[in-house]
Structure 1
């Protein structure tokens, strides 16, 4: 995937699956559920890129970009990233680029196979380009960015 294609996906968070499909932004793949009866449906257009849709409305709510394989089922994204994101970043890099986060959570222990994490930092995206959206940097235990999470600030249902 090219950096501009990721930018388009980030811009289109909040759009309906059917519209994204009809406009050729998404591949003609069916949405899948990870857990039976889950409120979210998923699409993996390429390894390391996961899109989350709210089942009830078909709204595209979250884009996950996996930079580091942390579980057996995780696939790493090997494509381009739009600036200022990089495939190898630490929490120090994130703070130097983005400043003080709007929200943050320190290291936590998750169930196996995830184990200990480095927590996360959240930042609002530029409201002119990406109104109502934020990016969350999820960290490994040694504070490397493992996942970029682009999502709506207010999903309106949780």
Structure 2
């Protein structure tokens, strides 16, 4: 089992449980942005684990597969099955079906800048609780980051969506 798959099986567990079980080294968590209600740690280059501030539960796993700005490391390890070959938006849709939620391309503050938007899909209903995955894209619609998080999303109705991406 690969490290991301192993962490996926531990979504919802507390930081202290993960340390006690040997899943994580005992590293401090930090708040990256004022007003952000999560603490993060970086156990591997390109991987960010996000914990709730109230109970320190693992709520999200981010894997940056393409460095989108200078100094940001990329995760070079394997992705969880069946996502190993998903490198573009079209490949994600071909594999997982229509996205449950989408955001058209947008601009983030520097150093990131322009993005290709994102799509969210149901990832694995066999986990308890179920897991969803968000793909963030470069402007060329290559996958730059995958974020795995707890919960089952419902599709947002979007009767006017006729373009490549939906809207929020």
**TM-score bin, normalised by smaller chain:** 0.7 to 0.9
Residue in structure 2 matched with residue 64 of structure 1 by the alignment: 62
Q: Is the 8 A contact 1:10 1:130 kept in 2?
A: no
Partner of 1:91: 89
SS at match of 2:114: coil
Q: Specify the alignment match of 2:150 in structure 1.
A: 152
* SS of residue matched to 2:91: helix
- Structure 2 length normalisation: TM-score? 0.83
* 1:87 positional shift: 6.7
Q: Which residue of 2 aligns with 1:80?
A: 78
Aligned to 1:117: 115
Which of 12, 22, 25 is residue 23 of structure 2 equivalent to? 25
Would you identify which runs of 4 or more consecutive aligned residues in structure 1 move more than 4 Å?
A: none
* Aligned-residue offset at 1:112: 1.7
Provide Cα deviations, 1:68-113, integer angstroms capped at 9, x if missing partner. 1112242100112222223760001111111111111111122222
For normalisation by structure 1, the TM-score amounts to 0.88
1:8-48, Cα deviation, whole Å (9 max, x unpaired):
21121111111011000011211122235642111111101
Closer/same/farther in 2, CA of residues 131 and 43 from structure 1, 3 Å limit: same
Task: Could you tell me which runs of 5 or more consecutive residues in structure 2 were left unpaired when the two chains were aligned.
Answer: 153-168
Distance across 2 between alignment mates of 1:153 and 1:135: 10
Q: How many residues align?
A: 152
Root-mean-square deviation (CA, aligned residues, Å) is 1.8
